[in-house]
Amino acid sequence: MSAPPVYLDAATAAPLHPVARQALLAALDDGWADPAKLYARARRARQLLDAAREATAQTLGVRPDELSFTPGGTAAAHSAVLGGLAGRRRAGDTLVHSAIEHSAVLHAAQRHVADGGTAVSVPVDRLGRLDRDAWSAAVAAPGVAVAALIAASHEVGTVQPVAEAGAACAAAGVPLAVDAAQVVGRLPVPAGWSILTASAHKWGGPPGVGLLVVRKGTRWESPWPADEREAGRTPGVVNLPAVVAAAASLRAVAADAAAEAARLAPLVDLIRARVAAEVPDVEVVGDPVERLPHLVTFSCLYVDGEALLHALDRRGFAVSSGSSCTSSTLRPSHVLEAMGVLSHGNVRVSLHRETTAAEVDRFLAELPQVIAELRAEAGVVGL
Amino acid sequence: MTVPAELLDCRGQRCPLPVIAVARRLPELPVGTVVRVLADDPAAAVDIPAWCRMRGQEFVGRITGPDGPGYDVRRSV
């Protein structure tokens, strides 16, 4: 009998939290009507939506009218960037962003450039830390409309200096959009942002729910065709059952976040230490200290990333990779590229509330053999 | 300008193959020798310098010629 599968890709999607499941099932029965209509069913749906917004805003420490639910984290990131640019078009047409933003932010930047705008990418160091001086200079330059910084890298886990970057933006009068997808529900939300985005399936909510928070007083204009839903920030009827489930699960994970971080961070430390010690020719990447509690990335010399994912999958381990052979574009991860670290043979392991020490131990026990076998097959042992 | 002593044509190969090619060949050459790796896989631009760093070899630089991108590596250890 083979061992049960071990899911280690929470940074892509965390398993549905039991509270989310419960809330989702209840809201499917109770929350299918359009909350904007004027009858009892609709009012019930409106109550559920208002309660979800109230609870989520409270968890994030923001005002309910600053928060809109979007059809996902990607839509939220697009809205944050393009809406921030639209709202400040009189101030300029430059978007400043770190080199390690999520592809959703970079795709919005590409759209902006294709439309005639400018985008300035700020580099990071080998550990994936923002170049603070370059950032401060970039946001202070003339014509900057908005800046975008990921709160913590979704690929290597390095936590970014959001408060400091935000202070530089504030001094220049530039709003800062922060992608907090890997942070919300795990770490306290940093200060210093004007626009904040997150994604429910990263914390154990259902897929298809994003958060877009626009601070009062921020010049932000919807980049989408007009629609009055969600304070005019995101078009279309929200997926209310999923929103209710997202809100309920966020409250639950936020309550446990400190304890979970304290439980998972030592497991990540263990992975960092044992992979470096027990796998030859491996580079464990990302900041070893200023990092997310649940995520670790490493690259194995001479190993094909896709072959590695398949070999791990055959043993029941689900992980992710930034190697080019695993991407549809056949390009290496822009994050690993910006850091200047090895991109092939790359594995990202991300833990969640159901991850046990025994699972991590099994992964660490089997990994060296998996890599040794792949190297033997490729004839690269001893290189 | 560095004149490479040898050309490794890895065009059409996906990473990690160009890195493996340089890892095989470089130790066979005298210290100080420069090898040019022709590689059109975009990952080579990241991985050849990273390999040099991990192995203590010198990454001389990237060149763009008629044959596409090339990466010069000098054996230093």
Residue A331: CATH number of its domain = 3.90.1150.10
**Does the residue A187 lie in any domain?**
yes
Q: What is the tens place of the pLDDT at every residue in A171-207?
A: 999 999 999 999 999 999 999 999 999 999 999 999 9
Write down the ipTM of this complex.
0.94
Neighbouring-strand partners of residue A284? A298
**Does the residue A1 lie in any domain?**
no
Q: Is the domain of A247 the same as that of A261?
A: no
CATH number assigned to the domain comprising residue A167: 3.40.640.10
**Residue A322 banded pLDDT, cuts 50, 70, 90:** confident
Mean pLDDT of B14-36: 96
Q: Is the domain of A166 the same as that of A74?
A: yes
Q: Map out the domains of chain B as residue ranges.
A: 6-75
Higher pLDDT, B2 or B52: B52
Question: Among the listed ranges A86-100, A314-328, B12-26, which one has the minimum average pLDDT value?
Answer: A314-328
Asked which of A190, A224, A252 is the last residue of a domain, the reply is A252
Q: What is the pLDDT of residue B40?
A: 94
Q: What is the pLDDT of residue A33?
A: 95
Asked which of A186, A221, A252 is the last residue of a domain, the reply is A252
**Best A285, A300, A306, A383 residue to mutate vs chain B (most B CBs within 10 Å):** A383
Interface contact A326, partner B, CB < 8 A: no
Q: In what order do the strands lie in the sheet with B68-74?
A: B6-9, B34-38, B68-74, B58-65
Query: How many domains are contained in chain A?
Result: 2
B23–A302: do the CB atoms touch at under 8 Å?
A: yes
**A22 has a pLDDT exceeding 70:** yes
**Does the residue A209 lie in any domain?**
yes
Q: Is the domain of A289 the same as that of A159?
A: no
The answer to whether the beta carbons of residues A192 and A136 sit under 8 Å apart is: no
Q: What is the mean pLDDT of chain A?
A: 96
Q: What is the pLDDT of residue B1?
A: 59
Q: Is the domain of A113 the same as that of A29?
A: yes
**pTM exceeding the 0.90 threshold for the entire prediction:** yes
Q: Is the domain of A355 the same as that of A210?
A: no
Q: Is the domain of A60 the same as that of A79?
A: yes
A340–B50: do the CB atoms touch at under 8 Å?
A: yes
Q: What is the pLDDT of residue A3?
A: 82
- Beta-carbon contacts of A270 under 8 Å, excluding residues fewer than 6 positions away, are A360, A364
Q: Is the domain of A10 the same as that of A96?
A: no
Q: What is the pLDDT of residue A348?
A: 97
* Domain, as residue range, for A338: 6-14+257-378
Q: What is the tens place of the pLDDT at every residue in A299-318?
A: 999 999 999 999 999 999 99
The answer to whether the beta carbons of residues A295 and A350 sit under 8 Å apart is: yes
**Does the residue A73 lie in any domain?**
yes
Q: Is the domain of A323 the same as that of A187?
A: no
Mean pLDDT of B48-62: 97
The answer to whether the beta carbons of residues A95 and A81 sit under 8 Å apart is: yes
Q: Is the domain of A31 the same as that of A160?
A: yes
Nearest CA in chain A to B20: A302
Q: What is the pLDDT of residue A324?
A: 74
**B51 has a pLDDT exceeding 80:** yes
Spatial separation of the C-alpha atoms in residues A36 and A41, rounded to whole Å: 10
Q: Is the domain of A190 the same as that of A206?
A: yes
**Does the residue A383 lie in any domain?**
no
**Best A156, A298, A301 residue to mutate vs chain B (most B CBs within 10 Å):** A301
Mean pLDDT of A367-373: 98
**A328 has a pLDDT exceeding 90:** no
**A170 has a pLDDT exceeding 70:** yes
Interface contact B59, partner A, CB < 8 A: no
Q: Where are the alpha helices (DSSP H) in A115-173?
A: 132-140, 162-172
Q: Is the domain of A167 the same as that of A210?
A: yes
Interface contact B71, partner A, CB < 8 A: no
What are the backbone angles phi and psi of residue B56, rounded to the nearest 5°? 70, 20
Query: What's the CATH fold of domain B6-75?
Result: Translation Initiation Factor IF3 (3.30.110)
